[in-house]
């Protein structure tokens, strides 16, 4: 990561109500059920259901499911897409999936532009996706900045944005000043 000044920065998170209406009941329900089942069967000694899971299996599966569901909730809450325009290129980081920033330098970008796209039809949804339009990094909405890459990194990359026109202007300005 360079120490260049940031000319544009946008941070987006998964905060759509419909995602939480699907995820929260599933995770909380799974955590609650396995916590209840472990207490009922392992502590009180009363089996859960007509064909109960063996105690050893419940001691293994129960904590794993609880950790998995809690981890999914944490990941949905902590996940964020950070987009930065710097003097030498565009940088993105999709936390917690990227350890650091991934850069697209001016020499690699043949063209770019703000666009409207169909996230489900073109990329199969939101997140880090691969689709007919290339690779996408998006969190919400249907707008972003489309990059056409050349050189050693050919293909197209879509960076989702809530402010795509402002992002495109920042890219145009920084790329123009860099003489790329």
Name the 3-class secondary structure at 78.
helix
Q: Given a cut of 70, is residue 180 above it in pLDDT?
A: no
What percent of the chain has a predicted confidence (pLDDT) above 70?
98
Phi-psi region of 57 (alpha: psi -120 to 50; beta: other; left: phi over 0): alpha
Instruction: Report the C-alpha gap between 72 and 126 in whole angstroms.
Output: 16
Tell me how far the alpha carbon of residue 113 is from its chain's centroid.
22
180 vs 6 pLDDT, higher one? 6
Residue 149 has pLDDT above 80, yes or no: yes
Arithmetic mean of pLDDT, 78-106: 95
pTM of the model: 0.81
Cβ(108)–Cβ(149) below 8 Å: yes
pLDDT above 90: residue 4 = no
Checking if the pLDDT of 1 tops 70, the result is: no
Residue-wise pLDDT for 114-142, tens only, equals: 999 999 999 998 999 998 879 999 999 99
Which residue's structure tokens are 């396995």? 34
């Amino acid at each position: 990561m360079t120490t260049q000044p940031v000319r544009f920065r946008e941070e987006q998170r998964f905060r759509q109500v419909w995602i939480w209406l699907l995820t929260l009941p599933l995770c909380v329900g799974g955590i609650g059920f396995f916590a209840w089942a472990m207490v009922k069967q392992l502590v009180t000694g009363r089996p859960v259901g007509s064909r109960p899971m063996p105690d050893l299996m419940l001691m293994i599966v129960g904590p794993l499911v609880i950790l998995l569901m809690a981890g999914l909730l944490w990941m949905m809450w902590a996940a964020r897409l950070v987009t930065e325009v710097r003097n030498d290129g565009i940088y993105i980081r999709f936390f917690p999936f990227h350890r650091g920033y991934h850069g697209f330098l001016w020499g690699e970008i043949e063209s770019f532009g703000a666009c409207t796209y169909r996230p489900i039809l073109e990329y199969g949804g939101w997140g880090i996706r691969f689709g007919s339009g290339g690779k996408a990094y998006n969190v919400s909405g249907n707008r972003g900045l489309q990059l056409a890459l050349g050189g050693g990194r050919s293909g197209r990359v879509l960076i989702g944005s809530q402010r795509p026109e402002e992002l495109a202007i920042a890219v145009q300005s920084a790329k123009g000043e860099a003489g790329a």
